[in-house]
A and B are shown apart, each in its own frame.
Chain A
């Protein structure tokens, strides 16, 4: 059969896509299936941002903070940014290894910055000497991102890394050769359709600080309030995108204040006052206190996010689920996605599939085998 047809206007875009895959047994796998799953949600984005976070990818440097930096601007600006950033890093860290982040020139991407990675450990002096490592690193990251022109640390955890840029996620995945060069036990990914903010390499998701990363579909309309509150506590928002505040809020609540995810979810996406009024007295008091104390961290507006940390992946939507999130399991594998089809593409059979209630976090943690298994893998590789 042969049919003649008018070619239609082919733009068909709608929203962001988010995806996460984690092996609860700590088995590491390449980004190949994650890229395929993201490609199946191609039409959700518009090619103005794609990115991945991968955990367990640097076992040989697992003791060291892995910094991924981008140097933007023209070649001269990039060189100058690199020089200034390196001078700062060498003054404050012991750098054990550094190299350009490998990328494939076969994949065409728009205006790639110079991308470099450093494996380092803190070298504290002066009044910083008593700071815990993580706090020290956070302060230095904030300094580079806010005070050194054209230099951005977009990944700063141990044994993990963010890879992101302007393009469709499958292009960014191939650009960084995530299907060939890395194996991780946890991957998250994002396809972007920027609404209120500009598309640039630093503004692509994931956003991260230390080993916490966030990919986000939606819009944080409380950004102004959230930012004001976080900046009061020492964070600086430098990436021109609403999602940035989520990464810092999670760092503040989980690392600095040591709150469990169940509580953090109720701060970011609290139940309505109407719902709180119907709770039993203890729960009501707790939720009321959280809403009062943490009012400036309430994330208003529609969102679905995947938060990842070493050994843990969390899915959360706003309290009335204005953005989609589907969760699925198959054996040791745990998936979170904007769409079930993308999970079925790489895992046609699933043990369970569900959509969590708005404001209720879904938390997947690696089992106790994690440390041993990684040790074992390193021994096996050597």
Chain B
């Protein structure tokens, strides 16, 4: 393999561990390699300007020392933002595209606009906060294990197939801006929990999903996650008690193997 020399020059902000980067002429690989170099050289905060479609921002940022940095994004990041994210914090001052937090392990992604399809797909840990709405198939095959329990909090609503094949984790839709019109919610869901604020019809939810009211333990989870959401979007001027004191629906799987008998009714459970 050929070795390449990369020259990097940039201006430092007043904070020595922070840096500002103009991403306008960088491709995906350059930008992510630069972020990796910055992390390894001890930077704790990177402000990316003029981001336009670069993918996987925040990926490949694993270090044995578990270094973490905050990445602020101005512009529109490309698909799979924060893929495999390892403990870092990403803030998008705008909209994000498809695949936000794809298979992220830990850390946090905050989107100050809307987020596209498959938000939080295969997410393993950490949290995603979206101020606006999310697209199709959000929380697709999200899963949890032991202490790792991923969380997605959405200010608005979702499009169809929310929580498809969901295996773990928590999804909260606050329904702040209008009605929930999604269908096929929880198709193939076999783990985890979805909380929805506002009206949701039985026909919008897959038949192998149990519809119930949140109990005290649920309300505790909701309280802490909604408080975290409010903290990240202070401009919404929300009150946690006010939000909690609304009509809430809890969706959880009826079975751990909803499609166990899809092809042959005699298949073992």
Residues of A that sit less than 8 Å from B by CB: 1-8, 10, 12, 40-41, 43, 275, 278, 320-321, 324, 326, 339-342, 344-345, 353, 355, 357-358
Is there an interface contact between A339 and B160, defined as CB atoms closer than 8 Å? no
A323 to B, closest residue via Cβ: B117
CB distance from A29 to the nearest CB of B (A): 20
Is there an interface contact between B75 and A3, defined as CB atoms closer than 8 Å? no
Chain A residues with CB under 8 Å of B41's CB are 1
| Given A1-B41, A3-B5, A4-B5, 13 new contacts (CB under 8 A) | A1-B37, A3-B8, A12-B29, A320-B136, A321-B160, A324-B98, A324-B116, A341-B75, A344-B52, A344-B75, A344-B76, A353-B95, A357-B159
* Alpha-carbon distance between A10 and B29 when the two chains are bound, in angstroms: 9
CB distance from A2 to the nearest CB of B (A): 6
Chain A residues with CB under 8 Å of B136's CB are 320-321, 355, 358
Chain B residues with CB under 8 Å of A6's CB are 1, 3
CB distance from B76 to the nearest CB of A (A): 4
A14 to B, closest residue via Cβ: B79
Residues of B that sit less than 8 Å from A by CB: 1-9, 28-29, 33, 37, 41, 52-53, 55, 75-79, 95, 97-98, 114, 116-117, 135-136, 159-161, 183-184, 203
Chain A residues with CB under 8 Å of B28's CB are 12, 43
Chain B residues with CB under 8 Å of A358's CB are 136, 160
CB distance from A171 to the nearest CB of B (A): 17
* Alpha-carbon distance between A345 and B76 when the two chains are bound, in angstroms: 9
Task: Enumerate 17 A-B pairs (CB-CB under 8 Å) in ascending A order.
Answer: A12-B29, A40-B53, A278-B203, A321-B135, A321-B136, A321-B159, A324-B116, A324-B117, A326-B116, A339-B78, A341-B52, A342-B53, A353-B114, A355-B135, A355-B136, A357-B160, A358-B160
A4-B5, A8-B29, A320-B136 in contact; A341/B78 too (CB < 8 A)? Answer: yes
* Alpha-carbon distance between A324 and B203 when the two chains are bound, in angstroms: 25
CB distance from A253 to the nearest CB of B (A): 25
Of B7, B75, B159, B184, which contacts A355 at CB under 8 A? B159
Is there an interface contact between B52 and A355, defined as CB atoms closer than 8 Å? no
* Alpha-carbon distance between A324 and B159 when the two chains are bound, in angstroms: 13
* Alpha-carbon distance between A320 and B161 when the two chains are bound, in angstroms: 9
Chain A residues with CB under 8 Å of B55's CB are 43
A320-B160, A355-B159 in contact; A7/B76 too (CB < 8 A)? Answer: no
Chain B residues with CB under 8 Å of A1's CB are 7-9, 37, 41
Is there an interface contact between B53 and A321, defined as CB atoms closer than 8 Å? no
B33 to A, closest residue via Cβ: A5
CB distance from A146 to the nearest CB of B (A): 39
Of B6, B37, B76, which contacts A340 at CB under 8 A? B76
Chain A residues with CB under 8 Å of B2's CB are 7
Of A4, A5, A8, A339, which contacts B97 at CB under 8 A? A339
Chain B residues with CB under 8 Å of A340's CB are 76, 95, 97, 116
Chain B residues with CB under 8 Å of A320's CB are 136, 160-161, 184
Chain A residues with CB under 8 Å of B97's CB are 324, 326, 339-341
Chain A residues with CB under 8 Å of B79's CB are 339
Is there an interface contact between B3 and A7, defined as CB atoms closer than 8 Å? yes
B6 to A, closest residue via Cβ: A3
Chain A residues with CB under 8 Å of B1's CB are 6-7
* Alpha-carbon distance between A10 and B30 when the two chains are bound, in angstroms: 11
* Alpha-carbon distance between A360 and B80 when the two chains are bound, in angstroms: 25
A41 to B, closest residue via Cβ: B53
Chain B residues with CB under 8 Å of A339's CB are 53, 78-79, 97
B184 to A, closest residue via Cβ: A320
A9 to B, closest residue via Cβ: B1
Chain B residues with CB under 8 Å of A8's CB are 29
Is there an interface contact between A345 and B52, defined as CB atoms closer than 8 Å? yes
A343 to B, closest residue via Cβ: B76
* Alpha-carbon distance between A1 and B6 when the two chains are bound, in angstroms: 8
* Alpha-carbon distance between A353 and B113 when the two chains are bound, in angstroms: 10
Chain B residues with CB under 8 Å of A275's CB are 183
B182 to A, closest residue via Cβ: A357
CB distance from A358 to the nearest CB of B (A): 7
Chain A residues with CB under 8 Å of B3's CB are 4-7
A275-B183, A358-B160 in contact; A341/B116 too (CB < 8 A)? Answer: no
Name, among A7, A8, A339, the residue most crowded by chain B CB atoms within 10 Å (CB to CB). A339
* Alpha-carbon distance between A5 and B3 when the two chains are bound, in angstroms: 6
Is there an interface contact between B6 and A355, defined as CB atoms closer than 8 Å? no
Q: Which 8 A-B pairs have the closest CB atoms?
A: A341-B53, A341-B76, A344-B76, A7-B2, A1-B8, A7-B4, A341-B52, A321-B136
* Alpha-carbon distance between A358 and B137 when the two chains are bound, in angstroms: 12
* Alpha-carbon distance between A88 and B75 when the two chains are bound, in angstroms: 53
* Alpha-carbon distance between A5 and B4 when the two chains are bound, in angstroms: 6
Of A2, A40, A342, which contacts B7 at CB under 8 A? A2
* Alpha-carbon distance between A241 and B32 when the two chains are bound, in angstroms: 36
CB distance from A46 to the nearest CB of B (A): 15
A1 to B, closest residue via Cβ: B8
CB distance from A356 to the nearest CB of B (A): 10
Chain A residues with CB under 8 Å of B183's CB are 275
CB distance from B32 to the nearest CB of A (A): 11
* Alpha-carbon distance between A147 and B211 when the two chains are bound, in angstroms: 61
Of A3, A345, A355, which contacts B53 at CB under 8 A? A345
CB distance from A373 to the nearest CB of B (A): 32
